[in-house]
Amino acid sequence: MQEKLKEIAKKTEGSEFYTSFPRGYKPGKTKYIITTGSVISGVGKGTFSSCLGSMLRMYHGLNITPLKFECYVNYDAGTLNPYRHGEVFVLDDGTETDLDLGTYERMLNKSLTKNSFVTMGRVFKTIIDKERKGDYLGRDVEFIPHITGEIKSFVRKLAVESKADILMIEIGGTVGEIQNSLYLEAMRELAYEEGRQNACFINVTYILQPGSLGEQKSKAAQLGIKALMSVGIQPDIIICRSEKPITEKIKEKISIYSNVPVSRTIGFHDTRNIYKFPLTLKEKEIDKAVLEILSLKPGKSVPELKKWKELVEKIDKAEKEITIGMAGKYTNVHDSYISILKALEHTAPYYNASIKIKWIEAEEIEKGRVSVKDALKDIDALIVPGGFGKRGTEGKIECIKYARENNVPFLGLCFGFQMAVIEYARNMCGIKEANSTEVEPECKENVIDFLPEQKKIEGLGGNMRLGSYPAVLKKGSLVCGLYNNEKIDERHRHRYEVNNKYVEQLEKKGLVFSGRSPKGNLMEFLELPGHRFFIGTQAHPCFKSRPSSPSPVFSGLIKAALEHSQKKST
């Protein structure tokens, strides 16, 4: 196979081939699992792929790295509206991705890089940049082989960079759509060039069960799989997602229609506990099928497997329930806050608890349609999450004031941190016109503002702090105790900072900036001594929270919420 690939590469110049191999690439060293979806979008490709990768990593010690191919022509996810696409997830290197990368990081317990997230916009930009530089040697640049060739280059570069045993490739969208056809063609070519023993195709389909019929129907799934086969891809494994367990009859229909053995046609119905999925995949022996297809030998489990199993048991046995209020502006689209929800979900079981979310639409409070007392009276803790823009800000400030005055555990994230500073400035420092220049550009008391160095940077996203930044925590502070460290790193996604000319005035009135940037000029954490739990941070600690190592601030919030709940009941 290596000789075959070298031959293809040699023929590239002046031929119909366009195939490149990065320095250090060895065909066969990295295997590829390619996941596609059919019937409907949102079928759970990312969840399935991350759980499969988690299972292969924990049970066989394999180095698994994901790669998400997105269909949209945006360069990254940074400008996408949360109402349309859910949360924008940020990697350590500052790359703005979709929420699936968060799922991969949590399930694989691994920090990823920009090369694990590729949009069609990034592919097109790469091609145009190369064409303008003359890298195609005067050839007419075509969809095949050039665009598909560049897509394969992204795959092979990540294989070398990550030194992965298996690259988990997820193709966004649904088979049959125009926008992912180039990705599908590129993966067909990849399997041809690498050899079928190095590529495993998995199709995640959906089995419908119309309420009017009361029985499962497989025709849509059959047609979706047929569409995949029509572009030259033969699936090796079919995953049948469904609301309820699929019948053997359905499996047989899918099997005979797709040339996939019944043993490799596997049903996965909805479940409450996603953390069981890796264990369930092992029970269904999907690892045996994958290892056989990829000519890999079984490996040894890793120590983390024991802790993962314990977490699954804790989730099932949780005896207490606490209610967390989420005061935001995208509350109708819960995926807008998915990393926060997941951080709460996998942290609470360590305290024998489960989480109930109470969604609080800040704009309703702002406009007086709901009183803040009624909205927050039955919660055990309050989170004010990140966000951009003016809408709902006064409602968030009212919620923060209520939490501060009534000793309700509070966590402010990014924009929530900034709103907490404004609330304290107005109501404790007497700075009645305190505001942010993001909310009110001409405000007289700009306690939240651009820093001078940021104002020099132009371009949407260019003037944001994106990615992982260090913070130095104050000795003896609550956050220092939670992290058990004076120097930490958390991920950021914001433009505005605390205006330093107000810091002394705020601290004189009791607010403590317990975390700062190494130079001391950026306020990273705040807390309020004497309060049950009142913490704000410019960062998004939920982005780095993992099932096996929950975020310290989320652990602290849940512990305080349990204490608050217990006090209410006595």
Q: Residue 193: enclosing H or E segment and its boundaries?
A: helix 181-194
Q: What is the pLDDT of residue 403?
A: 97
Cross-strand pairs, 118: 69
Residues of the chain where predicted confidence (pLDDT) is lower than 50: 458-461
Instruction: Return mean pLDDT, the chain.
Output: 91
pLDDT of residue 214: 80
Question: What integer pLDDT is reported at residue 100 of this predicted model?
Answer: 93
Cα angle 262-265-271, degrees, rounded to a multiple of 5: 135
Task: Say how far apart CA 552 and CA 484 lie, in whole Å.
Answer: 9
Q: Which domains does the chain have, with CATH numbers?
A: 16-69+154-307 (3.40.50.300), 319-569 (3.40.50.880)
Q: What percent of the chain has pLDDT over 90?
A: 77
pLDDT tens digits along 315-368: 999 999 999 999 988 877 788 899 999 999 999 999 999 999 999 999 999 988
Contacts for 565 with CB less than 8 Å, ≥ 6 apart: 320, 322, 323, 380
DSSP characters over 116-168: GEEEHHHHHHHHHHHHHHTTTTTPPP-IIIIIHHHHHHHHHHHHHHHT-SEEE
**Each residue's pLDDT tens digit, 538-549:** 999 999 999 999
The structure's pTM equals 0.92
pLDDT at 460: 43
Helix (H) or strand (E) holding 552: helix 552-569
Rounded to whole angstroms, how far apart are CA atoms 390 and 366? 11
For residue 205, the cross-strand partners are 240
Q: What is the pLDDT of residues 19-77, one digit of tens each?
A: 778 899 999 999 999 999 998 888 889 999 999 999 999 999 999 999 999 999 999 98
Phi, psi of 426 (to 5 degrees): -70, -50
Nearest to 155 by CA among 105, 189, 197: 189
- Using CB atoms within 10 Å of the CB of residue 485, give its burial: 0 to 12 exposed, 13 to 18 middle, 19+ buried: exposed
Q: Residue 514's closest CA among 543, 546, 539? A: 539
Residue 123, judged by CB atoms within 10 A of its CB (0-12, 13-18, 19+), counts as buried
**Predicted pLDDT of residue 10:** 54
The CA-CA-CA angle for residues 274, 280, 282, to 5°, reads 130
